[in-house]
Structure 1
Amino acid sequence: MASSVYVAGVGMIPFVKPGANEPYHLMGAEAARRALSDAGVGYDAIQQAFVGYVYGDSTCGQRALYQVGMTGVPIVNVNNNCSTGSTALFLARQAIASGAADCVLALGFEQMKPGALGSVFVDRPSAFEDFDAAADKLIDAPGIPLALRYFGGAGLSHMQKHGTPLSSFAKVRAKASRHAAKNPLALFRKEVTAEDVLNDQVIWPGVMTRLMACPPTCGGAAAVLVSEAFAKKHGLNINVRIAAQAMTTDTPSTFDAGDMMRVVGYDMARAAADKVYEQAGVGPKDIDVVELHDCFAHNELITYEALGLCPEGGAEKFIDDGDNTYGGQFVTNPSGGLLSKGHPLGATGLAQCYELTRQLRGSAEATQVDGAKRALQHNLGLGGACVVTLYERA
């Protein structure tokens, strides 16, 4: 990266169930206002904006930001499935690192419907045709909704390879609930035990219960990124720096490896993480806190290994040793993650940024990880894209 990029401000509204939300443009506008207020700048300071959402018509980004101001600046709408928010962040960071801008807003929001995810445009080829074909060859799960089939299949692959018990996924979900109980912005704040998770409604016998899946959610989050020169000129807080960032898409191994873990982005995640570690000159052992894409408990478990937090096949021990929570090697998803905090697709990547920025500032209150100096973010979208971002306390 040519120029250092700092997170000057972050904002997030509480995530809620579909039907309990305000319309998308009001959620987005409020998240943007909170980020601007946190940064200590007005909307007139923003030189470019990148706005992410998955379910919405073109220029919904303008509809949201026009509630905040109409200054004529470029507004770019972004849709990259579940990695949409971090893709907006990626583009905002690039704009500053390249010298094209000095103060950029990344915003994400989503207004979702209840129930499993599905296609909206059913009159044309699906972006998931190749993924469906790969999944059909690898797993026999008739009647299981698309996302559950993909990620449950990935968990099943790990179980078959490494003997991972279903209880490991239940422990991941229970951990998420303990963390979310301390987060006032999380959707689900009730603590559950691993036994509760195992005894919940069975979605896929031997593979998944309902509590192992994240809920459809509505919400918004935003970040203001600035250059060092801009921050110094305006007296802004620059104690959180984006040390490295990488975005990857699928390679032939996604379909050729004959492994559902690869179909859901394991190789994308590993490649992005490796690039980030190399850029920053650090390794997994140097990370203190992680927000990763736990759309299903199964994906959190396999992502431990993809990010190098533990060896391949080592996730069961990693979980049993408590190395994924407070007092262990890494605190993963102190916010409660997608499983408990919720997953409004376009907002998720920026909600992760919100949590990690506060962690490095030392202002995360009840979820604070003591002495956090480096934070890693992983945001995944099938179809596909993966963005990994490393933040450090400046």
Structure 2
Amino acid sequence: MLKLFNFWKGVQKTNQMAGSSKVFVIGVGMTKFTKPGTKPGDYPDWAKEAVLNALKDAKLEYRDIQQACVGFCYGESTSGQRALYEIGMTGIPIYNVNNNCSTGSTALYLAKQLIENGNVDCMLALGFEKMETGSLKPRYTDRLHPIDNHVKVLKELHEVTASPRNAQLFGNAGLEHMNKYGTKPEHFAKIAWKNHKHSTNNPYAQFQVEYSLEDILKSPSIHGYLTKLQCCPTSDGAAACILASESFVRRHGLEDQAIEILGMEMATDLPSLIKDKSMMKVVGYDMTKTAAEKLFSKTNIKPTDVDVVELHDCFSANELITYEALGLCPVGKAGELIDRGDNTYGGKYVINPSGGLISKGHPLGATGLAQCSELCWQLRGLADKRQVPNAKLALQHNLGLGGAVVVTLYRKGFATKGLNSKL
């Protein structure tokens, strides 16, 4: 009898621990994203603005933050410390994170794990970038570049042109989709048209101009069918998210605004990157598919349950192929999804209501945290003119070549009766 009692006591303790491992986003904030060189101040100023906005949103003080994960790609080591010292020098551990374009969501991923492991109750994830105009260029030319394998496959499959390297990688991935499934250049242009239209309602977006489909198609070619208005710009800016445990949320009375991270998966490149000679796989199709399948399997949720999506549209081609990698539509059917309008208001999903990277901008370290911020606003009903009606379940996708992808599901943390009923 005593053994049985101890067994059930252990089960109860395990269940309690499992229940307490939930992690919530309780505050978000960001700056407006701008063309490099036009934003007043420097990266610590922008970081301060984003963090103070997030603290205000969470109704907290900086002293409540126990540790911080800070992401950036362009900057000296420990820039994370220098950025946060503008707000306070409290002696907390600060981790500097660099994972290419998925840096922001990687900082979020690490912060979530630290809370889940019971190390802390309240974490800050911050991302910022001070960039240069024009396409991304290698910083170090005296050593092997981390995407050399990707470029080798590109050279095997296509003639290398004078176009920006990333435009060739993603543009040729879109070309592969056209050759395999009959997708047309107009499908990619429709994605850019949609994202530019969405951005007109986002005061944080670098661009807030609506273009016609003809404008998109006739803008200057960057690589073949991929025109300038289908490519994301480099940007300056910052974004911040505050994460907390369930006990912290309850102690501070933040249940009404807490957004639960239902699940989060990171994946890196697979052998298919090199073996399969596929440009779609070179730019992350397989690692996105792997992360998404794990995420939906662990959460017992289907991709078709999702209402709103912030997706890594560095190029319109990547948004299109990612629809299929995430399971938002069957393989080869992304063009049909676009033609039905199932990626915008009134359709099955609203994808990139913020305007996405194409219009909102892409300060690498901040991008993933800006995506998280947008989805939290959507789930809290605070997205103003871009609000997705009855948004209950949100999906985030943030990708970096080299490579890493982070895929995340969110919902309102303390749902009232009837909310998230489809879950």
Q: TM-score range by the shorter chain?
A: over 0.9
Conserved 8 A contact 2:154-2:160? no
2:324 counterpart of 1:305: yes
Is 1:370 the equivalent of 2:389?
yes
1:333 equivalent in structure 2: 352
2:126–2:239 contact (8 Å) kept in structure 1 = yes
SS in 2 for 1:224: strand
Alignment of 1:179-258 (within 5 A): 179-205=198-224, 207-237=225-255, 238-258=257-277
Q: State how 1:335-354 maps to structure 2 within 5 Å.
A: 335-354=354-373
Question: What is aligned with 1:93?
Answer: 112
Q: How far 1:240 moved relative to its partner?
A: 1.0
- Paired residue type of 2:100: N
- Quick check: 1:10 aligned with 2:28? yes
Residue of structure 1 in register with 2:189 after alignment: 170
**Cα separation, 1, equivalents of 2:110 and 2:374:** 20
Contact preservation (8 Å) 1:288, 1:331: yes
Given the alignment of the two structures, is residue 143 of structure 1 paired with residue 179 of structure 2, yes or no? Answer: no
Alpha-carbon deviation of 1:239? 3.3
Q: Which secondary structure does the structure 2 equivalent of 1:143 belong to? A: coil
Q: 2:309 aligns with which of 276, 290, 293?
A: 290
- Paired with 1:230 and 1:121, the residues of 2 have a C-alpha distance of 43
How far is the alpha carbon of 1:141 from its aligned partner? Answer: 3.1
Aligned residues: 393
Deviation string 1:4-26 (CA, Å, 9 cap, x unpaired) is: 00110000110000111231111
Inter-partner Cα distance in structure 1 for 2:332 and 2:380: 34
How far the C-alpha of 1:60 sits from its partner, in A, is 0.4
Give the TM-score normalised by structure 1. Answer: 0.98
Provide the rounded CA distance (Å) in 1 between the counterparts of 2:68 and 2:298.
Answer: 26
CA–CA distance in structure 1, aligned partners of residues 68 and 258 of structure 2: 22
- The answer on whether the counterparts of 1:16 and 1:217 sit within 8 Å (CA) in structure 2 is yes
Return the offset for 1:124.
Answer: 1.4
- Deviation, 1:27, is 0.8
- The CA RMSD measured in Å over matched residues stands at 1.0
Q: 1:71 aligns with which of 90, 111, 130?
A: 90
* Equivalence for 2:291: 272
- Provide the TM-score with structure 2 as the length reference: 0.92
The code of the aligned residue for 1:392 comes to R
Between 218-227 and 274-283, the greater mean CA deviation after superposition: 274-283
Contact 2:398 2:406 survives alignment (8 Å) = yes
- CA distance in 2 between counterparts of 1:252 and 1:46 reads 40
Distance 1:157 1:262 in 2: 10
Shift of 1:288: 0.4
- 1:153 CA drift (Å): 1.0
**AA aligned opposite 1:183:** N
SS across alignment from 1:88 = helix
SS in 1 for 2:406: strand
Residues 1:324 and 2:343 are matched in the alignment: yes
TM-superposed CA distance for 1:257, in Å, is 1.0
CA distance in 2, matches of 1:9, 1:203: 38
Unaligned runs of 5+ in 2: 1-16, 414-423
- What is the alpha-carbon distance in structure 2 between the residues aligned to residue 20 and residue 256 of structure 1? 44
Deviations 1:347-376 (A, max 9, x none): 000000000000000111111001111000
Q: Structure 1: which 5+ runs fail to align?
A: none
The equivalent residue for 2:376 is 357
Runs of 4+ in 1 over 4 A off after TM superposition: none
- For 1:367 and 1:269, the matched residues in 2 are separated by 27
Q: Is the 8 A contact 1:171 1:193 kept in 2?
A: no
Output one character per residue of 1:218-245: Cα deviation in whole Å (capped at 9) or x when no partner.
1100000000101111222453100000
The amino acid that maps onto 1:37 is K
SS in structure 2 opposite 1:245? Answer: strand
Q: Deviations over 1:42-69 (max 9, x none)?
A: 1111111000000001000001000011
State how far apart, in whole Å, the 2-side matches of 1:275 and 1:289 are: 19
**Which amino acid in the other structure matches residue 190 of structure 1?**
V
Whether the 8 Å CA contact 2:128–2:238 is kept in 1: the answer is yes
Task: Report sequence identity in percent.
Answer: 54
Counterpart Cα distance in 1 of 2:157 and 2:270 = 18
**Cα offsets for 1:66-112 (capped at 9, x unmatched):** 00111101000000000000000000111111111100000000001
Q: CA deviation at 1:204?
A: 2.3
User: Quick one: distance in 1 between partners of 2:143 and 2:48?
Assistant: 32
2:174 maps to 1:155: yes
- Pair 1:114-2:133 in alignment: yes
Helix, strand or coil at the partner of 1:156: helix
Partner of 2:7: none
Aligned residue type for 2:165: L
Residues of 1 paired with 2:374 and 2:409: CA distance? 13
For residues 25-44 of structure 1, the C-alpha deviation after alignment (integer angstroms, 9 at most, x for no partner) is 11112111111111111111
Query: How far, CA to CA, are the matches of 2:309 and 2:160 in structure 1?
Result: 32
* Residue-by-residue CA offset, 1:306-346 (whole Å, 9 max, x unaligned): 11111111011100000000010000000000000000000
Larger-Rg structure: 2
Range 122-131 or range 321-330, more displaced:
122-131
